[in-house]
Structure 1
Amino acid sequence: MASNSRSNLLLFVAFAALSLLVAPPSRAEDRVLRVGTLKLIHGITPYFYEKFAPPGYRIEVVPFESPTDGKNAVLTGTVDTCIHGIAAFLLGAAAGEPVVIVAAATNRGMGIVADAKSDIKSIKDLKGKRVAIFPGSTQEVVILERLKAEGMSISDIQPIRLSFSDMPAALARGDVDAYVGAEPGPGISLANGTGRLVEYPYSTPIGSLNMILSTSEKLIKGDPERLKLIIDMHKKATDYAMSHPDEMVQVAMQKLGQQRKSIEMAVPNVELTWKIDDEFIKRAKAYSELMVEKKQVRQAPDMSRAITEQFM
């Protein structure tokens, strides 16, 4: 009898151990909140999430070079949320991709910079010049609108396809005459003396709207509580970073590998935000309409579906 009990006990222990080995790691994985962002100073907010993480949760920040890569990572479930430009979002939403804006992320953070040795001092002076632009970016829509306001079009300049991180070096080498960049790019060019600020392009109908926090429809439906945790952190981290600019500089230096001077010049041109309010929706709709007008999308997405105030 004792022998049977011992055998049963050993069998139970063996099964318990086996179940631990073969059990899916979902519970542990569920405690890791994966958030994407761009390698830009106005994508710095997720690096402050850890300060406000719920007990037992770990934050994994995944940096992306391209807004489209960030948006696609949301759709594939590689990350739960991602901070990226609204243009990439609207391109996806207009194509029927199940991506949704759940919070605002950044205003400003853009700059049109010319070679300091050139005679380029205004948008009109870009005529015939080599201008670096990142296709599919918020900045592309902005420069098209600024050119239009000056009675020009994209055919009046020589657009050069370039990623944001490559723009300051290309300008310094003389590969381009100007660029429509994202911080800390303009800050770098101004700090090292190779660039001259043409303008911060916020006079269009979309104002200073730039980046948003996106997620997938699947996650909204399947795990809204998980999203609520992330968005609550996003709100607190945004407010904290904006009220601690010195820490923002330190984190940006650490994560972006830039010099203090360039980061300090970039920070005043960055407004971290989180609210989806009437002004945000108005600017987002204006953005969508501009993309249709400029034939970047065939038709505007349904903005009532593309933006949710559920987590506000």
Structure 2
Amino acid sequence: MRNLTGQFRALVMAAAIGLAAAPAAYAADAAIPTTPEAGAFKIGIEPWLGYGQWHVAEAKGLFKTNGLSDVQIVNFAEDKDINAALASGQLDAANIATHTAMGMVAAGLPVKIVLLLDVSMTADAIIAGKDVTSIADLKGKQVAFEEGTTSDILLKYALARNGMSIDDVKPVPMPASDAGSALIAGQVPVAVTYEPYLTVAMAQNKDLKLLFTAGEDPGLISDVLVVRDEVIKSRPG
């Protein structure tokens, strides 16, 4: 798993180098406008701590201060929905996990990574009650998590580090927003989710604890802002 993580980081670095060269390549064809073009700019977002800066910018009027008169923040609850909206052109940009963005690029989806937003430490975690004290204790137990997301990556990574695999647990697929609630309700003994759902869950049940966090390997989980290619070309300002 560590080798896979190293390859993933190499891909991210390669993408960053490519992005660093992109402005120069664009400048050779046309000058980038000094002011944004008119019209709405729709940006997809989920209730994740690392995307909070967009809500701050909206509340403080920072978009309009910088000439963006109609930025529309569109809220989503699940990764699959925001991904579909971006792929179908319903959004101009989206805040998504780095591994998701890399997958989109690899699949030929016309998007560009333009900004690294965050690197998760304790904001993505596996949480459990007092009866589960180690990753080894997950063997044979139900684990609630959202498949294909950062929660999926974190769970499989934690299992691999302890000589286990996803086959050693009983997956209970559900949105990250519901995983913590399922744990509190006693429907599952373990859940994988992220902030603010971690804090909400632990506030309601003092026996819950962080069993394993993304900070065990900084850089394993991060998030980026992606913009559709057609938007970059048609509205470079």
Give the CA deviation at 1:52. 1.4
Q: Residue 97 of structure 2 contacts residue 221 of structure 2 at CA under 8 Å; is this kept in 1?
A: no
Pairs aligned (count):
194
Q: Residue 71 of structure 1 contacts residue 89 of structure 1 at CA under 8 Å; is this kept in 2?
A: no
Could you tell me which of 191, 214, 225 is aligned with 2:203? Answer: 191
Q: Residue 83 of structure 1 contacts residue 213 of structure 1 at CA under 8 Å; is this kept in 2?
A: yes
Give the CA deviation at 1:76. 2.6
Could you tell me which of 138, 141, 160 is aligned with 1:129? Answer: 141
1:243-282 aligned within 5 A? none
Q: Does 1:105 align with 2:117?
A: yes
Q: Does 1:42 align with 2:50?
A: yes
Corresponding residue number in structure 2 for 1:20: none
- TM-score, L = length of structure 2: 0.74
Q: Mean Cα displacement is larger for which, 156-165 or 77-86?
A: 77-86
Q: Residue 127 of structure 2 contacts residue 212 of structure 2 at CA under 8 Å; is this kept in 1?
A: yes
1:160-175 aligned within 5 A? 160-175=172-187
Deviations 1:279-301, CA, capped at 9 Å, x for gaps: xxxxxxxxxxxxxxxxxxxxxxx
Measured in 2, the distance between the counterparts of 1:130 and 1:119 equals: 13
Measured in 2, the distance between the counterparts of 1:52 and 1:36 equals: 18
Q: Residue 49 of structure 1 contacts residue 59 of structure 1 at CA under 8 Å; is this kept in 2?
A: no
Q: Does 1:32 align with 2:40?
A: yes
Q: Percent identity?
A: 27
Measured in 2, the distance between the counterparts of 1:65 and 1:151 equals: 33
Q: Residue 133 of structure 1 contacts residue 139 of structure 1 at CA under 8 Å; is this kept in 2?
A: yes
3-state SS, counterpart of residue 164 of structure 2: coil
Pair 195,181 (structure 1): closer, same or farther in 2 beyond 3 Å? same
Corresponding residue number in structure 1 for 2:131: 119
Give the CA deviation at 1:140. 0.9
1:59-208 aligned within 5 A? 59-108=71-120, 109-114=123-128, 116=129, 118-193=130-205, 195-204=208-217, 207=219
Deviations 1:49-105, CA, capped at 9 Å, x for gaps: 233113461221101112232233223332221112223223322322222211111
Give the CA deviation at 1:178. 0.7
Q: Residue 121 of structure 1 contacts residue 198 of structure 1 at CA under 8 Å; is this kept in 2?
A: yes
- TM-score, L = length of structure 1: 0.58
Gaps in structure 1 of 5+ consecutive residues: 1-28, 226-312
Measured in 1, the distance between the counterparts of 2:211 and 2:189 equals: 12
Give the CA deviation at 1:208. 5.0
Measured in 2, the distance between the counterparts of 1:77 and 1:146 equals: 35
3-state SS, counterpart of residue 95 of structure 2: strand
Corresponding residue number in structure 2 for 1:213: 225
Measured in 2, the distance between the counterparts of 1:57 and 1:76 equals: 24
Paired AA for residue 125 in structure 2: G
- Larger helix proportion, structure 1 or 2? 1
Measured in 1, the distance between the counterparts of 2:166 and 2:220 equals: 21
Give the CA deviation at 1:153. 0.4
Aligned Cα root-mean-square deviation (Å): 2.0
Pair 71,215 (structure 1): closer, same or farther in 2 beyond 3 Å? farther
Q: Residue 83 of structure 1 contacts residue 212 of structure 1 at CA under 8 Å; is this kept in 2?
A: yes
